[in-house]
Structure 1
Amino acid sequence: MNKRLLNVLPALFLSGTAAASTCDNDNDITSIANIQGETELSQMVGEQVNVRGIVTATWQATDGLGGFFIHSFAEDADENPATSEGLFVVTDKQHSTVTTGEQVKLSGEVDERSQLTSLVNVSNMTTCGNATSTPEVTALQLPVDSLKKLEALEGMPVTLSSAKDEELTVSGHYNYPRHGFFDVSSGRLWTPTQIVMPGKDAKRQKQENTLNRLQVDDNSQVVEPSPLPFSSLQHGEQRSLRSGSTIDSFSGIISQFNDGYRIQPTEELVLKAVSKQPQLAEKNSDAIRIASFNVLNFFNGNGAGQGFPTPRGADTPEQMERQLQKIVAALTTMDADVIGLMELENDGFTERSAIIQLVNALERVSGKDYEIAEPRAEKIGTDQITVGIIYQPERVKPNSHALFTRQGPFSWGSRPPLAQSFIHEKTDTEFSVIVNHFKSKGSCPEDSESPNSNQNDGQACWNDLRLKSSEQLTQWIEKEPLVNPILLGDFNAYYHEDPIRYFSKNGFYNPSDATDYSYVYDSQAGALDHVFVADSLKDNIQGVYHLPFNADEPWVYDYRDDTYFSEGPFRSSDHDPLVLDLRFSGSGM
């Protein structure tokens, strides 16, 4: 067979394959190709059939898949590239175990088992000895041209690789701790509006992402597997399966689970390159370091160990202490002079408040003094969570009390932004840090006619409110006025979305690139967290750093599960922190 055809045709037997006599000359056999058909779902569901084939992979154990895959005999194959020659056979404990390479004949009922075309209620299974040769393995490359190609390979052995200019990449692992599978793609998958404009470009990118992903399964039905599978791919300080790492080409069987296609590996996976590791330049004493960090619902149970589980965040005092250790580890590593925080418990500034407890712990671990930017109010807004600013008084001095606004969209949707003006004493330069947390993309309006409903342009719902938040924020900054403003925080909008582009068109500079990310959702990377400087400050930028502490880590490594917990900064949140270094060159600029 021409090797180039392996990318477009289902695999057939190598020449010379012969079946044992007990499997030969049976006129009552239904071919696997007829069972599969050319559509996603078999047209023979519910029918009783007799089939035969070669076992290509088997996971019959009770903690496995509960069955095995077979491939057509050469004489049964129809040579139609649109029909698969593979089938999954669901077995139970009364069936004898079969081995790879063995020929079998059996009866059963056609079923779509979570959309995987299968044979169930199996009976009359006969083994017919080993085949003299095995099925050809199809070369499969991501991305595919159409999902029909994966359907045409369902149940068949393949060797998976990536496009020539990319590597097979772990793109996401949300279901990995619970169900033991992760997503793989050719290169990183990006949230569409992170790398292209909303609208038709985002729709096209979404479709391209769909054609460039497969689930890699652990060949098991175990829920919450322990230890976690794919140990050969685990790396980093927490020995975890991090997105962004790359793997070698490998062989397996194409299968399907509900709306996703997957591969059942038939060999151990090999780590090719580790994911991006945190890189932060040494802190320059002449520069001001400013950081942004969403701390994922840091609630302290009323500051006295009471009130657990909290409305958000930790369920127990022990969990809260682990959460605090991780957050402090991340903040200590950054050693920023000014830090904007998001998702703090909105319980004011008393000695039992969440922000006070965080600062006290940070001072103990870092050995440095920190102060809190306090407005003339008991709390900032009325939401359960709020933003905050802390700073090192030896490095910067506040120029006034902190300010916030509840005008317009900050009265009910986006959280009130908090601003603090500082003086860099070494150069006598004034600058202002404004920390933000815009409305999220979830909980869409029930009214489909609302401008905040999902417009299906890639920006999800509440985009109109986030855009109005950007407009209101810039107006407020001008009105105060806030000198040399630096905006940072969780804007809940990706790089090319309207609220982010608004700043760039209205006096602010974004020093990050489209391939910088702070969040991974649905196996797609993107930046929800941003920093902007007034155009007048862009020449003062010494460096900007997106630190992949969290987004690439499986969620099970956070503070909730003591089995996988470690005290370092990794998975201290679900968002990565962002660091900006600014160097002021002269007095008063």
Structure 2
Amino acid sequence: MQGQTLAVEGVITLEAGGPDGLAGFYLQSLPGDADRDAATSEGLFVFSDDGSGDVGDHVRVRGLIKEYHGLTEIAARGRLKVCGRAPAPQPIALSFPLPTLEPLEGMRVVFDEAPTVIDTHDLGRYGVVELAADDPVRSRRNPDTMGSPDRILLDDRRLVQNPATLPLPRPGLSADNSLRTGSRLEPVRGVLDYRYDRWRIQPETWPSVLDANERPVAPEPPKAGAVRVAAFNALNFFNGDGEGDGFPTARGADTGHELRRQRQKLVAAIHGLKADIVGLMELENDGSGENSAIAELTRSLGAEWRYIRQPEAGTDAIRVGLIYRHDRAQPAGAAAVLASGVFARYSRAPAAQDFRLRGNEDRIRVVVNHFKSRSCRNARGENRVDDEGCYAPVRERSARELLAWLETLPKPEGLSGALVVGDLNTYVGERPLALLAGGGFQRPTPLTGDGQHTYRFDGVRGVLDYILVDEHLQSRVVDGGVWHINADEPSVLDYNLEFHPPGRADRLYGPGPWRSSDHDPVYLDVRMDRR
């Protein structure tokens, strides 16, 4: 019927007009008029600027039938005719995995069970979150799950981008009222809609959060005699020229104001870890001088913090780094860096440094890494197609070359063992992790819990950030964990000022550790005595 002008009657089930709304309303057949064909929908979106109808009105409207980017609608011509009031049709019950949805387009639906929020990436920009039956975990495979029958969007009944207020969670998103992925909502009721190539629910009322996946408390300090080592991807900490200018940078903060917001969150996160030694990823590769990014971040942490001056860090825009509390830990010997082979072009150059606790002659070696990302940008040939993501052969080669290099490093007296830490861009079960395990570097028990994660992508969670210990330190591990301060938080709560209407960025910003990065930090406590 596309292109025809027709008149239809029905009951208004959801009004979605207004200045920022969907420019219309949803109409569904009167209960007595529904046909018996289960393959055809009884609902329709009416594109109209006539605000004379209300939910529950029986109306007649005439207009042009259209398929607007996949959405079946009628573009109303003239005013609505209100014929009276009518009862709302009963909603169709839905559950995961979802059935074929085309026959239900534009109709009232309700979920039988409480769905789980699995993605909030577009909450700030478009007012939508993604729902599924549970919170999926990714390991070996990295499937494209967009449009899967196991997920659906919950929309906000608006077309405006970057809305001033965000309705979820109730009474609205704020720095202290987050909507964390993994949270469960009460059963959602609304109208099934199709826009911008995705099925979505336009809610009749905003669902309450039943299980909020509460923000975790900070870790307890390490026990006496133990050293705490942490790994943290700092999400492109670039500080311009280090003197307040030099913005925008190649990555990270675009202004000095953004840098201050970013720095404040990172400092809160690192302090909260209560770590003695922290391996950092995604620092600006601008040397180790007083104006460098690592120097600025270290100064911001306080007088008890120092950083390792690396002899070189490769040619990538970002680098790894090591910082430590000099009142607790001391470097022993010089740092070593591998900036050749695969680390000269793809993976960031790893850095190794020995440390000991004050008053203890035993050493541990901390090796910080950041393997090539899984992004397919510029990937060609064997780096393009792999069930472990793009550049999988590069990450596998990185693991091999890292192990070979570690074998060449000196092993001074008192060296108790080594830890490989960092963002390996490798999910559990993939080849690089298996190679490192074969070389003696294993995931310790405190970091191998069921369903653990440090990162979320496309609505699926998984582990990308690791602390691996060699066989000499396995028996000395006393505690550890993942501090879930970032991956589960909406990105709109971060330091960035882009895509915010006036005033919203300040209302949503908090100085705490929440959404200081897109990766969660991991930490491990290792006993330094020889018991």
Structures share fold, TM-score greater than 0.5: yes
Q: Quick one: distance in 2 between partners of 1:140 and 1:233?
A: 26
User: 2:179–2:212: 8 Å Cα contact kept in structure 1?
Assistant: no
Greater shift in the superposed pair: 547-556 or 559-568:
559-568
Could you tell me which of 55, 68, 79 is aligned with 2:25?
A: 68
Equivalence for 1:328: 267
Could you tell me which of 75, 84, 107 is aligned with 1:129?
A: 84
Could you tell me which of 114, 121, 125 is aligned with 1:178?
A: 125
Q: Which amino acid aligns with 1:453?
A: R
Kindly tell me the number of residue pairs found equivalent between the two proteins.
515
Could you tell me which of 347, 359, 365 is aligned with 2:298?
A: 359
Offset at residue 233 of structure 1 (A):
6.6
Q: Secondary structure at the match of 1:303?
A: coil
Q: Which amino acid aligns with 1:156?
A: M
User: 1:444–1:462: 8 Å Cα contact kept in structure 2?
Assistant: no
TM (norm. structure 1) is 0.83
Offset at residue 336 of structure 1 (A):
0.7
Offset at residue 497 of structure 1 (A):
2.2
Q: Secondary structure at the match of 1:301?
A: coil
Q: What's the % identity of the aligned pairs?
A: 36
Q: Which amino acid aligns with 1:135?
A: P
For the pair 1:98 / 2:53, whether they are aligned, the reply is yes
Equivalence for 2:325: 392
More helix by share: 1
Q: Secondary structure at the match of 1:403?
A: strand
Q: Secondary structure at the match of 2:95?
A: strand
Q: Quick one: distance in 2 between partners of 1:566 and 1:237?
A: 5
Q: Quick one: distance in 1 between partners of 2:90 and 2:166?
A: 32
Equivalence for 1:454: 385
For the pair 1:152 / 2:103, whether they are aligned, the reply is yes
User: 1:235–1:242: 8 Å Cα contact kept in structure 2?
Assistant: no
Unaligned runs of 5+ in 2: 498-504
User: 2:233–2:521: 8 Å Cα contact kept in structure 1?
Assistant: yes
After superposition, give the CA deviation of every residue in 1:231-271 in whole Å (9 maximum; x if it has no partner). Answer: 41757863222222221113111111122111011123111
Equivalence for 1:140: 94
Q: Which amino acid aligns with 1:82?
A: A
Q: Secondary structure at the match of 1:470?
A: helix
What does 1:270-289 align with in structure 2 at a 5 Å threshold?
Answer: 270-279=208-217, 280-289=219-228
For the pair 1:81 / 2:38, whether they are aligned, the reply is yes
Q: Quick one: distance in 2 between partners of 1:123 and 1:397?
A: 79
Q: Quick one: distance in 2 between partners of 1:380 and 1:446?
A: 23
Q: Quick one: distance in 1 between partners of 2:314 and 2:262?
A: 24
For the pair 1:50 / 2:10, whether they are aligned, the reply is no
Offset at residue 229 of structure 1 (A):
2.0
User: 1:444–1:452: 8 Å Cα contact kept in structure 2?
Assistant: no
Equivalence for 1:10: none
Q: Quick one: distance in 2 between partners of 1:445 and 1:498?
A: 22
Q: Secondary structure at the match of 1:264?
A: strand
After superposition, give the CA deviation of every residue in 1:410-444 in whole Å (9 maximum; x if it has no partner). Answer: 01000000010123455533211111111111243
Q: Quick one: distance in 2 between partners of 1:300 and 1:251?
A: 47
Q: Quick one: distance in 1 between partners of 2:124 and 2:112?
A: 25
User: 2:53–2:80: 8 Å Cα contact kept in structure 1?
Assistant: no
Q: Secondary structure at the match of 1:142?
A: coil
CA shift in 2, pair 1:99/1:388, >3 Å: same
Q: Quick one: distance in 2 between partners of 1:371 and 1:404?
A: 18
Equivalence for 1:570: 514
Could you tell me which of 398, 402, 407 is aligned with 1:478?
A: 407
Greater shift in the superposed pair: 133-142 or 414-423:
133-142
Q: Quick one: distance in 2 between partners of 1:438 and 1:54?
A: 57
TM (norm. structure 2) is 0.91
CA RMSD, Structure 1 to Structure 2 (Å): 2.2
User: 2:61–2:80: 8 Å Cα contact kept in structure 1?
Assistant: yes
For the pair 1:374 / 2:309, whether they are aligned, the reply is yes
Q: Secondary structure at the match of 1:54?
A: strand
